[in-house]
Chains A and B, each alone.
Chain A
Amino acid sequence: MDAVQGLATDASMTPSAARAGYPDLLKRGVVVAALIVIGLFAPTVIRNTYYLGLMGDAVVLGIAAVSIGFLAHQCGLMMFGAAAFTGGATYLYAIALTRFGWNVMAAAAFTLLASTLLSALIGALIVRARPLPFAMLTLALAQMLRSVVMITDFRPVTGGDDGLALSFAGAFFGLPQAQLSRPDGFWPVAWLALCGVMLLAWAVGRSRAGRVLRAIRANEERMRFSGFNTYAPRVLAFSLAGFIAAVSGLLTGLHTAFASPELLDFTTGGNALVSTLVGGVGMVSGPVLGALLFVIAQDQFGANGNLELLTGLGVVLVIVAFPEGAMGFIRNSVARFGGRGAQAQRGGDHAAR
C-alpha cells in the first residue's frame, strides 16, 4: 500500500524505476559502459582471426535476433521472415553504392532510413494479423523479395542469381573497405552497433511505450477500452524491429561486400529465429547469447560433417530443457540462488527487460 500512497506525490514515476531506484540505475549504467569499452578490445584478447570472425558473425546474427526478440517480447509477434529486413537492407546498401554511385556514408544512411520506412509501411499492413498469420506473412515477404531480386528484368539492378559485389572508395567512420573486410577491423563497428541496438531495445522496453506494448500484448481489447490506440504503437514497434534488422543487414554488406539472394532465404531468417528461441526473449541479451551459442555450435557441428542433424537435435534439446531460453535459465538460476522468488523476478523483469 506504500506504493499507492506514493502515487499522490509522484504519479509519473514508473513502477520499475521506483523499484530499481536511480542510484541502482546509475550503477548499472557504469557497468554497461565499462563492458562496452572492454568489448572494443576483444581483438587484443582473441588474436585468432578465425575465432574473431566467428564472434563478428555472432554479433551480426545477434542483432537480427535482437530484432526478432524485441518484437516477440513487446508485441507477442514472431517474425519468421527476418531475412526480408536483414537481406533487404544489404541489397539496398549494395544498390545505393553500385547503382546510385553514392558514397558509403550516404548509402548506409539511406539503407537504414529506407529500411525503417519500408518496415513502417509493411507493419501498417500486417501488425493487425494474429501471431501465426503474422509470422507467415513475414515469411512470405522474404520469399517474395528473394524471387524479385532473381527476376531477369531486374538483373541490371539486383544482379540476379549472381548477386551484387560491391566496393567503395571512401571510409565508413574512418574505416576503409579493406579494413572492414578483416575480422579485427570489422569488430569495433559490429560491437558498437550491437551495443547500440541492445541499449535502444532495452530503453524502449523500459519506457512507457514498452509498457503500453506489453499491455497491448497482454490484452489488446482492454487497452482499447482504456482509451489507447493499439495500432500505432505496434506499427512503431515493427518499424523499430525493421530498423534493428536493417543494422544487421548493413553490417553484412559492410563486412562481406556482397549481396546475394541467399540473404533473403528462409534459412537466413531461420538462423536468427533459432538464435532467438535458444537465447530466450525475456531479456534483450537473450537473443545475443542465443546467436553466440548458435554460431559456436554451427562451427563445431560443421566440423564433424553432421551440421543439420546436430543443429536440429541441439535446438530441440535446448528449447525443451530451457523453455525460457538459455538466458531465462540463467536469470531464473541467479534469482533462485539469490533468494528471490522466481515468480516475482519474472514479473519484474518482464516490465524492465
Chain B
Amino acid sequence: MLRVDDLTVAYGSLRALDGVSLEVARRGALHGIIGPNGAGKSTLMDAITGRRKPTHGRIFFDGQDVTRHSVERRRRLGMSRSFQRTSIFPGIRVGEQLELVASQLGEKDLAGIVDTLDLGRVYDELADVIAYGDQRRVDIALALVGQPSLMLLDEPAAGLSTAETTTLFEHLAAVARERNVTALVVEHDVEAVFRFCDTITALDLGRLLANGAPDEVRRDPRVIAAYLGSAA
C-alpha cells in the first residue's frame, strides 16, 4: 500500500531524513512511528503527504509513484492526514466543514464517521469553541472523510490526558478495522503506541532504527539506546 524508498529530505547541509525506506503493506492496521525529538517523524509525514519535497528517494502509494504529486492529488488518491497542531476550520460549524469536505471527496457515510468519532453532540457548534479533545476528533474526522486507504496522523494525542489518549486510540483502532484504513501514527505516548499499533517504525536523527512488530521494536537495542531507555 505504501512504500518509501531511500527517502532523504535535507535543509541545506542538515539531513532531516537520511535514506529512510519502509513499507506498510497491511490494510486496516495501525502503524506507529516513534523516535526522539528531531528524529524526522514529522518530516517523514510531510514528505509522504507532499507537504515537503524530498531531496532524494521515491514514494509509492497503491503501486503508483506519487513523489511528484500535489497534496490535493494525493488526497484524492486516498492519502489523508491530520496535524500536530489541530487543523480544523475555525469560525465554521463542525457539521458544515465535514459536509463540505464530504461533498468534495464523495463521502457517502458522513453520519457513520460522525457516529464513530462521537461528534454528534458538537455537530452544530462552531469548531473553535468546542473542547480541545473534540477538536482533535474533528481533525481526525476531516482526515477520515472520503474513504482514504491511508491516514497519517501526526501526534493525534498531543495535549490529551492518559484517559483521553486511550479513548482516542481505541477510536482509531476501531476506525482502522471497520473502515479498512491504515493509519500511520506519529506519537510520543510510547505506551499507547506499543499497546495499540500492529507494526512500528523507530527513527533517530533522520535514520531508520527498527521496523517491525511492537515486541521486536521494543527489544531492539538501538531503539532502547536512542529512545526507550528504561521505558523498555
Contact = CB atoms under 8 A, between A and B. Distances in A.
Given A15-B96, A218-B92, A219-B87, A227 B76 contact: yes
Interface string A341-353: 0010001001100
Nearest to B87: A222
B123 interface: yes
Tell me what chain A mostly uses at the interface: helix, strand, loop, or mixed.
helix
A215 B95 contact: no
Interface residues of A, number: 28
Contact of B90 (A5, A7, A218, A221): A218
Interface stretch (A148-156, A206-214, A237-245): A206-214
B89 A218 contact: yes
A8 interface: yes
Most buried by A among B89, B126, B142: B89
B99 A225 contact: no
Nearest to B139: A222
Contacts of A128: none
Nearest to B89: A218
A222 B71 contact: no
B160 interface: no
22 contacts: A1-B121, A1-B123, A3-B124, A4-B111, A4-B120, A7-B99, A212-B100, A219-B87, A221-B87, A222-B83, A225-B71, A225-B81, A225-B87, A226-B104, A227-B76, A227-B101, A228-B72, A229-B72, A343-B126, A343-B129, A351-B93, A351-B96
Contact of B110 (A7, A347, A351): A7
Given A12-B103, A347-B126, A3 B95 contact: yes
Interface string B72-115: 10011000110100011111110111011111110010110011
A169 interface: no
B15 to A, nearest CB: 25
The 6 A-B pairs of least Cβ separation, nearest first, read: A1-B120, A227-B75, A218-B89, A226-B101, A15-B96, A222-B87
B82 to A, nearest CB: 9
Contact of A224 (B72, B114, B145): B72
Interface of A: 1, 3-5, 7-8, 11-12, 15, 208, 211-212, 214-215, 218-219, 221-222, 224-229, 343, 347, 350-351
B214 interface: no
A225 B111 contact: no
B146 interface: yes
B140 to A, nearest CB: 12
A4 B100 contact: no
A351 B92 contact: yes
Given A1-B120, A15-B95, 10 more contacts: A3-B123, A3-B124, A4-B114, A4-B120, A214-B91, A218-B92, A219-B89, A221-B87, A222-B88, A350-B92
B49 interface: yes
Contacts of B121: 1
